[in-house]
Structure 1
């Protein structure tokens, strides 16, 4: 008796997140020290910090557990970004305090999801009569704006200067946001929720003049007034693969480490075996040529048609490459297989 190995592989992967964090800007005590030490000569940490006023770092950027989105169990801290009358950068008339991702990852290629949570407080509240550009790209193909004409005190999502979605901007309400940016298709989608609710698509995908050099996403605020304001950010990261809607981000123990440049797996390479073995082995041609060492775990029972536990591990293939093995087994403990031929397992190999 035979079963459909393609269906089993599909079921396995559908039950897991294929998300990968390419750049992690979630704040910690360590990142606070790094931001304070950052300079062009000493580019440490996750962020570039050069767009700010002439005062001390703590005049503009403060990291603390008091500023984290409480719905995000994966982040220990959030950041309070202050913009005031001293926040002139290079003599500009607008006031600015901004952090920029510092990474060599391909955050400006393919389809990416730019995540962050944002709120304001009643104290040092934003001036609703002055324009604010928030979490924007240099070309402004996607951004949030506040205080622009006709916004009625709402926070607005914009593409190429056009308002596409608006939100009430009440004090102490966390707004969770993801920009779904397809750098190849030149489209942008907007995902949003408040509090602990999961992200939901609110607009798009919409055509936009998508452009980025990978070092021009501004996590912070540019504004056209000199009042003192505090803006709070949390849960900042950039994701490849599928969108994670949970506010805590991808689950580490269920996230296969798959490179966005990994070769797609062809259905023609899937091997069908008997249900008594309950095994699926999927390989791309490049992986097959590398002949990775097989590491498998048997199912606890031949009648277990669909595995219930997903594990990931890395298998060396050469000094310069590795393979990620996604191993699905039943939740029950199982003895080690006597050989790789008669082990009941489900394994997919893809380049990491």
Structure 2
């Protein structure tokens, strides 16, 4: 969602969500190579071909999921899992728990929150949940070390395609 305060510039290309190979992307704004000076469409592209688009409107909720959805599919090991993402903003407000969105019955639109303070929040922590097995006090705390090896070159994580 965007607001009328500091809206995204439709004259810039915004690559909002994508895999490193860019085979599928959520984008907004004037796409490089397009005619014109602005483009107000939010779009989903596959291999640079738009599959879906809509005019981006301030205050309108667009329910896109970026993250990990764990489905047990008959599995029985419910052990905790750690997934790490880079560059993902985590909302502080109450999460949307309905498939109807944040305002069911409003035609898919949402009004901006009446208060910037969340009604509830989940504390953020980089510490994993505690284990049910106590650690003896004589055991030193675990340490983490960086793996040995070369560092990644600029744009190397995406194969350098199109970048200099």
Calculate the TM-score normalised by the size of structure 1. 0.19
Query: Greater CA radius of gyration, 1 or 2?
Result: 1
Q: Pick 1 or 2: higher relative contact order, CA cutoff 8 A, min separation 6.
A: 1
The TM-score, its normalising length taken from structure 2, stands at 0.38
Higher strand share: 1
Higher helix share: 1
